[in-house]
């Protein structure tokens, strides 16, 4: 029975979208993916107290990270993009 339950959980997880809302700069991509996370969410507003220029610099850093790690990371702009990358087992 445990094997049936494990299979059900695995199938449910494959159909689910698992978002790490505490994602940030500099990931251990393979560790995150092997832990079952599909996507991370970065809140840029958390830098607001540092000033507008600092926020813009953080945005630039995240876009640079996307360029440097294009084989691991994808900026999601549509559900089609998300599901395509999920099938490829990329972090989005």
List pLDDT tens digits, range 13-62. Answer: 778 877 776 665 556 777 777 777 777 777 777 777 888 898 889 889 88
- Residue 71 binned pLDDT confidence (cut-offs 50, 70, 90): confident
Domain ranges of the chain: 2-87
- Output DSSP code: residue 65: H
CA dist., res. 84 & res. 90, Å (int):
9
CA dist., res. 12 & res. 21, Å (int):
20
The total of other beta-carbon atoms located within 10 Å of residue 19's CB is: 13
**pTM exceeding the 0.75 threshold for the entire prediction:** no
């Amino acid at each position: 029975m445990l094997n049936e339950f494990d299979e059900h959980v695995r199938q449910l997880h494959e159909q689910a979208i698992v978002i790490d809302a505490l994602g940030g700069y500099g990931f251990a991509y393979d560790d995150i993916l092997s832990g079952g996370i599909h996507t991370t969410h970065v809140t840029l507003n958390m830098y607001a107290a540092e000033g507008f220029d600092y926020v813009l610099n953080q945005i630039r850093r995240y876009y640079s990270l996307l360029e440097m790690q294009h084989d691991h990371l994808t900026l999601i702009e549509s559900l089609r993009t998300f599901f395509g990358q999920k099938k490829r087992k990329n972090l989005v």
